[in-house]
Amino acid sequence: MVVPLQMGWRHLLFENWPVDPALLEAHLPRDLTVDEHDGRGWLSVVPFTNVAVRPQGCPRRLGIRLPEINLRTYVRRDGEPAVYFFSLDAKGIASVLGARLFHHLPYYYARIGLEFDRESGRVRFSSRRKHPGARPAAYEATYRPTGEAISAQDDPLARFLVERYRFYTEAPDGTLRQTRVDHEPWTLYPAAADVETNTILRANGFEMPESEAVYYYSPGLDVQAARSESA
């Protein structure tokens, strides 16, 4: 990343599965280790939309909207918790190319739609990868919050899944890169989701887990992302 960025993350679904840590190890760079909760590694699919994406210091009105979906897991390096992305699909061609070039993130161009029903709180999300030469990947789901809001810091699993302030990527030359992100603590809701299509795991070499997914919803928060740097 050439300059730090500011943005908002809105209408997020965290769709999470416990998996055997050994299944994840083969997909990680050598310097990262699987982070475990109750002896299990975790895979998460996260659909949402970025809003007001802009260089740090620019007026919010100049930012762009960028729907996105990613597949991620949870890692440690030198004892510090972080996120590792297997893939990120997004709608904007220029943003996808910029993220690949400057942030070494495995972004793919996709046709994405997100509709939010303010009255019911229901979100309809659909994504179909259109990136030339990439493996097909599609996701369709309708989701909504249920129950009472919780502070992620007060729930052990929620804290494990979302309270992370660094992510790692692997550059084309094999070097490990890191980026620091800053935001307020997460507020989450239990969520219900009707997932009609999900081939994102298969596109990244994973079988669909046999376990039931754990769902959380968040209306979102604002984020600052630092420059990408060598780890």
* Calpha distance 13→144 (Å, rounded): 8
Strands (E), 93-137: 107-117, 122-129
Residue 1: predicted pLDDT: 45
Buried b (16+ CB within 10 A) or exposed e, 34-59: bbeeeeebbbbbbbbbbbbbbeeeee
Both tokens assigned to 155: 């729930």
Q: How many domains does the chain have?
A: 1
Both tokens assigned to 224: 């600052």
Q: Which domain holds residue 150?
A: 5-230
What is the reported pTM?
A: 0.94
Residue 173: predicted pLDDT: 81
| Other CB atoms within 10 Å distance of the CB of residue 191 | 22
Tell which residue, 132, 228, 133, 139, has the closest CA to residue 175. 228
Q: With contact defined as beta carbons under 8 Å apart, do 216 and 190 qualify?
A: yes
Q: With contact defined as beta carbons under 8 Å apart, do 139 and 190 qualify?
A: no
Please give the distance of CA 75 from its chain centroid, rounded to a whole number: 14
Both tokens assigned to 77: 């390096």
Tell which residue, 54, 148, 71, 61, has the closest CA to residue 105. 71
Give the position of tokens 């918790």: 81
Q: Assign residue 226 the CATH number of its domain.
A: 2.40.400.10
Q: What angle do CA 117, 136, 48 make, to 5 degrees?
A: 25
| Per-residue tens of pLDDT for the chain, all 231 residues | 467 889 999 999 999 999 999 999 999 999 999 999 999 999 999 999 999 998 888 999 988 899 999 999 999 999 999 999 999 999 877 777 777 776 678 899 999 999 999 999 999 999 999 999 899 999 999 999 999 999 999 999 999 999 999 999 888 788 898 999 999 999 999 999 999 999 999 999 999 999 999 999 999 999 999 988 888
* Calpha distance 186→184 (Å, rounded): 6
For residue 48, give the H/E element and its range: strand 41-55
Q: Which parts of 40-192 fold into alpha helices (H)?
A: 93-103, 156-162
